[in-house]
Structure 1
Amino acid sequence: MATDYTELTESNGKHPRTARGLKTKRKLLDAAALEFGEKGFHEASITGITQRAGTALGSFYTYFDSKDELFSALVKELSNMVKERAALALAPKQSAIDAERSVLHTFLEFARDHQEIYRIIDEAEFIDPQSYREHYEHAAQRIEERLAEGAKAGELRSDIGEIEAWAIMGMNVFLGLRYGIWSEEKSAAEIAEIANGILARGITADKGPG
């Protein structure tokens, strides 16, 4: 399970000042993602995190004030990672429908590499409701912006907006759960192509001409 939580949004003023400090903080973040992902927030412990990271207990408090603060930082970081991966998936002059296929493909691969994301984000609903809500609101907003660009280009209906964006996001989230976390029986490319067909053609039967 690959992790790389190096772009943490700093909110407590505890910035690493040396390369060694950056490395230590990265170890703590990587270890925390595994600890929270495997045990859940309540069963996870600061001691367990530092043991996984191979750091002294005091190192934790050099960068974080509490387990809650670290958890909130991870939620924001995971959200940022999803955003960055989606941006990298987009290609210049890509159609609106193809853009959604590329983003879903990338998200499925991300979910398979970072399976801890689902447990951490789900628990955030109760541990850090604001970060939980922001995670989904920001994701839906990005989809809505892409749809708006497609409508402006004449590729999509002009009345598509927020509801459609949330519907697409919901589809992506649960496809990630089914085919990224529960099993990998189909390739990410195949799943994204099938989902893309729903967006492009709907699910009604083609009855042919009159």
Structure 2
Amino acid sequence: MIDAIPAPKSSTPKSSTPKTSRGERTRQRILAAAERQIGERGFAETSVVSITQEAEVAQGTFYVYFRTKEEVLRELVLRMGRRLRRSLTLATAGIEDRLEVERRGIHAFFAFVRDNPNLYRVVAESQFIDEAAYRAYYTDFAASYRIGLEAAVTRGQISPGDAELRAWALMGISDMAGRRYALWERDAAFDAAAEAAFDLVAHGLAPR
């Protein structure tokens, strides 16, 4: 999971855009509360009431910005994409070598998961609530990843191969390893695991 990616696409109309900075702050408080509630309790156990109580806003205020709890979930999936794109872009800015981009990206992804556990869980929850948004999150990511891999092949930095399959496989390595070493083991250092994941990416399983 390395390259900057576009936000997931959705056919669902966007939620209401606040007209004032105060309104935007309120909207962001609702999203932050929903992120914590859904991330910690799960979507089914989270209610509009629990979200508004944590956000310290009236229940009616929720409906000024969002029509449903599902709409909040979709917005949080978009938030995950935006934050992750920024994190990976900053971590790999100015690096020309593709393998070094992969190495830095894996470390950055692990750090992102560690710092945003609830948001990471929200995306996982979305597969059961809005499969279209969940799929778009990953397919859009894979499309951009594929482009970066194809460019690296052209530059002779990595071997030729099926860029689409590679994109999904590399995403899977980061996704599952990040879950294991950065999300589940909250207090353990993950640098060694990130380096081991990169070693697998760079050298595969064949004996050297």
Q: What is the TM-score normalised by the length of structure 1?
A: 0.87
- Count the aligned residue pairs: 199
Per-residue deviation at 1:20? 0.9
CA distance in 2 between partners of 1:87 and 1:41 (Å): 30
Higher relative contact order at CA 8 Å, sep ≥6: structure 1 or structure 2? 2
Whether the 8 Å CA contact 1:33–1:116 is kept in 2: the answer is: yes
Q: Which residue does 1:58 correspond to in 2?
A: 60
What's the CA shift for 1:63?
0.4
How far apart in 2 are the matches of 1:112 and 1:28? 22
1:57 alignment partner AA: Q
Q: Is the Cα contact below 8 Å between 2:39 and 2:118 reproduced in 1?
A: yes
Q: Distance in 2 between matches of 1:47 and 1:83?
A: 31
User: Is this contact kept in 2: 1:179–1:185, CA < 8 A?
Assistant: no
Structure 2 counterpart of 1:84:
86
Q: Does 1:42 find its partner at 2:44? A: yes
Q: Distance in 2 between matches of 1:194 and 1:146?
A: 22
1:105 and 1:115 mapped to 2: Cα distance? 15
Give the aligned partner of residue 158 of structure 2. 156
Q: For residue 3 of structure 2, what is the aligned residue in structure 1?
A: none
Change (3 A) 1:167 1:51: same
For the Cα contact (< 8 Å) 2:15–2:67, is it kept in 1?
A: no
> Which moves more between the two structures, 77-86 or 52-61?
77-86
Alignment of 1:1-210 (within 5 A): 11-12=13-14, 14-184=16-186, 186-206=188-208
1: CA distance between counterparts of 2:99 and 2:188? Answer: 21
Three-state SS of the structure 1 residue aligned to 2:45 is coil
User: 1:35 touches 1:48 (CA, 8 Å); kept in 2?
Assistant: yes
Whichever of the two has the greater Rg, that structure is 1
- 1:83–1:139: 8 Å Cα contact kept in structure 2? no
- The one-letter code matched in structure 2 to 1:38 is E
> Which has the higher mean CA deviation after the structures are superposed, 171-180 or 75-84?
75-84
Describe the superposition over 1:151-189 as per-residue Cα deviations: whole angstroms up to 9, x where unpaired: 111111123411111110000000111011110465343
Q: In 2, Cα distance between the equivalents of 1:13 and 1:171?
A: 34
Q: Which runs of 5+ in 1 are unaligned?
A: 1-6
Which one-letter code corresponds to 1:36 in the other structure? I
Contact 1:151 1:160 in 2 (8 A): no
Per-residue CA distance 1:74-130 (angstroms, 9 max, x = gap) = 112212222222222213243111101111111111111111134212221120000
- Give the Cα separation in 2 of the matches to 1:35 and 1:165: 32
User: How far 1:13 sits from its partner (Å)?
Assistant: 5.3
Cα distance between partner residues in 2 of 1:188 and 1:152: 32
Partner secondary structure for residue 204 of structure 1: coil
What TM-score results when the alignment is normalised by the length of structure 2? 0.88
Percent of aligned pairs with the same residue? 33
**Counterpart residue identity of residue 112, structure 1:** R
Amino acid at match of 1:79: G
